[in-house]
Structure 1
Amino acid sequence: MPDPDPTAAVTEVAGRRLRLTHLDRVLYPRTGYTKAAVLRYYTLVAPVLLPQLAGRPASFLRLPEGVEGQRFWAKRVPPGAPDWVPALEVTHRHEVLRQAVVADLPTLLWAANLGCLEFHVPQWRTDPRTHDRLIIDLDPGEGTGVVECCAVALAARELLAADGLRCWPKTTGSKGLHLTVPLRETPAARVAGYARELARRLRAALPELVVDQMAKELRSGRVFVDWSQNNSSKTTVAAYSLRARPEPTVSTPLEWSEVAGCRRAEQLVFSADQVAERVRTTGDPHAAVTDPAQAGTLPARPS
């Protein structure tokens, strides 16, 4: 009987056997970017991506037919997954889910082979009640873009520094920016409260540019500081993850000089190939995010 997928390849990765399928399938029709290219990209960036995913239950955005096909979220480890895929039992509001932890290259490629283009993780590891990251999500409203997000990011950096906290910027791979603040383990409610107050302070500092309320009618011409990303039920796209957009853009870690120097939106749009080359030539601007020595402590109250 003929093989239903003549492009399939069986390979061994770090001692794990993987069957990689439909390698010639075009997942990004606008550019011709194939599944084989996706697997290659994730292999190249695995040394910098995996530390961002390690120890955290992953949520997968799967698009088995590509970005123009059906898409769906997957949190549970799917039936038939290899028994070597690490997992955590995660208590959500109404149920307990067994979620994959992308801890190594075999697991990363196993997930990508399922059509997972985007990897998202929460701001906590094993216990949703305790966070070790603060995320500042800068979402541009109509009439604004990443240039305006950069102005807000620089203001946020100053406010955080005054509170003894450091942050690292990255693109979302879409229109906005994320700032990541590594923390010592902190009660989730306290992190969420600080994020909400920081958004208010940014609005007070930049009233013509910032909005901190979720109503969409308020966002035109302004940048929304989405403090709700620090809710334990929320996840954020990981640094170095592809995005399921018309072209294979990436949530890309940045140098602060790139944020300060941004004058046009296209300056901060990076394709998978560009990001792989950035990592090869200049390393990982986000490496310190996973360094325990960089973890900060929230102030007793915002300054």
Structure 2
Amino acid sequence: MLNVERPYPPLLKIPAYPASPGAREELEIHINELMKLGVLRNKLPFKLYIDACGEGIGAALHQVQIVNDKPYEGPICFLSRQIKPTEAGYGASQIEFLCLVWALDKLHHYLNGSVLGVITDLNAVKSLLNMKTPNRHILRWQIAIKEAEPQIPIEGINITDVGTEFFEEVRESYKQDKNCHILTDLLEKYCKDASLVNSLDDIQKTSYDNGRVHLFDGLLYHMSKHTFVIALCSKMLINPILLEFHDTIYSGYLSEDRTMEKINTCAWWPSWTKDVIEYCHSCDRCQKANKAIGKRF
């Protein structure tokens, strides 16, 4: 029988809290408050938060309402879905733009006649909305948004600062890494300097020669058959990725294969498969669990 009063081990680190019925009841209160949806007010403006990843897209519709004589922003509804097989090849900016179009279509009953502000963490959404020579997907989505605007005035697309600190650290790390610095120069200046290309390490040189490395907004992206993900080079940035996709409560100490599968949709660095294997093998919790069930690794 599961003891619901016993805290999950990673939560025992910092800050500590007492394992008691009172703590459980307080936790239930906080969870219920977080999940409480607001009552729709048609005359008030809406905020639409959108986000996407390699596996799905999601949106949250918010409103700022007066609660106890104070302005309070709360959720009205949440929606999400998985990425379809036909959408798996889209880039990060296309997926985010698709998320906006899909959310407007699903929420038009809420939004008709109301002013809407869109909040995203990807600056490229603005560029795609105003692109002069779009491909067929972007053109179709642009038309869908233009058709929706008379009924749903979009007052602007705001770029949140979520993750901007991380991306700035990635850009700074490129300056300290020989290969990333060379790749950035080659792609930024569209130069074909053979001596620069030959000075790359074998893995990076192969990726560059095969057209797998791209530069967007100062960030390097690595393309494979099924993924298009950010390239990392600093251990200070790689270690949190390994921790997030293996150790945290959201991952639950996934197996080696599942950890690789998750990281493959998020980031790339030259030795990523080797690092994932070593990280999983060095995990005390995994080794104890494997020993208990007789697995070698």
TM over 0.5: no
Query: Who wins on radius of gyration, i.e. which is larger?
Result: 2
More strand by share: 1
TM-score normalized by the length of structure 2: 0.27
More helix by share: 2
